């Protein structure tokens, strides 16, 4: 993966990491980061649409700085990025993503879903052609995709069977993707119940647990800009699908799409803060939720670079922190 060296407009956010209660625990994390020759990592990758491309930059930084990722737990975009990385196919996915435009993305959206706008069949067929499928239990890195059972109202951890089926279940954003039928259970996006799924890593024999929370508090003035970009994306959907009438009440700046998206982001942010407060990782990387729009995959280079720089700044702060 190639990262540009030019300054990015997304590099102004403040970093955040786990701030332990005691001086001893601060020192514990600092010494782990500083003194081990190779650090074995459990990586928790949260949900958040296109913001999840920051996961790619974070993974690249960890690899370059002698952190060995031995376990991944992810939901939604975190399951997709983490699953492809565990299968050794992340570079292929990222290079493909950088080459496509909005029209190419729209062609992957089959507007024939039931219980959601998009069935996801065309998208997953493309992923299968692009990277192939694997059995999760055969991957060289331990991997768990987290989805939500909407009938039983509980998390579902998928750690065996088809990787692509697990990813499809975990990315089922309510109202956008059709819920996915998996082993007799109707599953939606894992972020509905646990946007940063740390629990699957509890029994890992690793040195550090690093969690990436894509639902951090908004910073700066980027929100309006991103909303307009997303509304533009919705308008392109409307133009592309000429036979489908998308009412103005859906795509307007105060319409259904905006309200649903903002509500879901706010809900996930609150849930993530509660979960991570109860079960804190060694290090938390908290990405602001107004970093970019949920469908801004056409900004891949920018978002990946942001994740890389954010990770670098956070680890520098940890090493320099007074204890």
Active site residues: 76, 189
Q: Where are the alpha helices (DSSP H) in the chain?
A: 23-35, 53-64, 77-86, 90-99, 102-107, 121-131, 163-170, 223-240, 248-251, 256-278, 300-320
Sign of the torsion angle spanned by Cα atoms 14, 321, 316, 45: negative
Contact 104, 76 (CB under 8 A): no
- DSSP code at position 204: -
| Inter-residue contact 206 to 70 (CB < 8 Å) | yes
Residue-by-residue DSSP string for 75-128: ETHHHHHHHHHHTT-HHHHHHHHHH--HHHHHHT-----SSEEE--HHHHHHHH
SS3 210: strand
153: its two tokens: 């109202």
Burial degree of 9 (CB within 10 A; 0-12, 13-18, 19+): exposed
What gap in Å lies between CA 302 and CA 316, rounded to an integer? 21
DSSP 186-197: EEEEGGGT-SS-
User: What are the phi and psi torsion angles at 198 (to 5°)?
Assistant: -85, -25
Place of tokens 């999760």: 136
DSSP summary character for residue 201? G
């Amino acid at each position: 993966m190639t990262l540009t060296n030019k300054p990015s407009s997304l590099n102004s956010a403040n970093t955040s990491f786990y701030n332990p209660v005691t001086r001893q625990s601060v020192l514990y994390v600092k010494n782990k980061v500083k003194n081990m020759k190779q650090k074995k990592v459990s990586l928790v990758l949260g949900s958040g649409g296109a913001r999840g491309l920051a996961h790619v930059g974070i993974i690249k930084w960890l690899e370059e700085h002698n952190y060995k990722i031995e376990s991944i737990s992810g939901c939604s975009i975190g399951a997709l990025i983490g699953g492809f990385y565990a299968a050794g196919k992340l570079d292929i996915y990222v290079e493909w993503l950088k080459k496509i435009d909005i029209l190419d993305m729209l062609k992957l959206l089959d507007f024939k879903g039931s219980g959601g706008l998009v069935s996801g069949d065309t998208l997953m067929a493309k992923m299968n052609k692009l990277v192939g499928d694997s059995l999760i239990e055969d991957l060289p890195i331990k991997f768990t995709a987290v989805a939500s059972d909407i009938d039983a109202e509980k998390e579902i951890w998928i750690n065996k069977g088809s990787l692509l089926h697990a990813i499809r279940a975990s990315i089922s954003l309510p109202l956008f993707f059709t819920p996915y039928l998996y082993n007799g259970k109707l599953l939606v996006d894992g972020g509905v119940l646990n946007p940063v799924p740390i629990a699957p890593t509890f029994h890992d024999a690793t040195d550090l647990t690093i969690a990436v929370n894509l639902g951090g508090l908004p910073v700066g003035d980027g929100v309006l800009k991103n909303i307009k970009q997303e509304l533009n994306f919705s308008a392109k959907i409307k133009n592309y699908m000429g036979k489908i009438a998308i009412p103005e009440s859906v795509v307007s700046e105060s319409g259904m799409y905006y309200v649903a998206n903002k509500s879901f982001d706010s809900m996930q942010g609150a849930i993530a803060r509660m979960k991570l407060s109860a079960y804190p990782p060694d290090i938390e990387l908290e990405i602001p939720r107004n970093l970019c729009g949920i469908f801004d995959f056409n900004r891949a280079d920018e978002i990946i670079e942001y994740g890389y720089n954010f990770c670098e700044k956070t680890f520098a702060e940890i090493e320099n922190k007074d204890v």
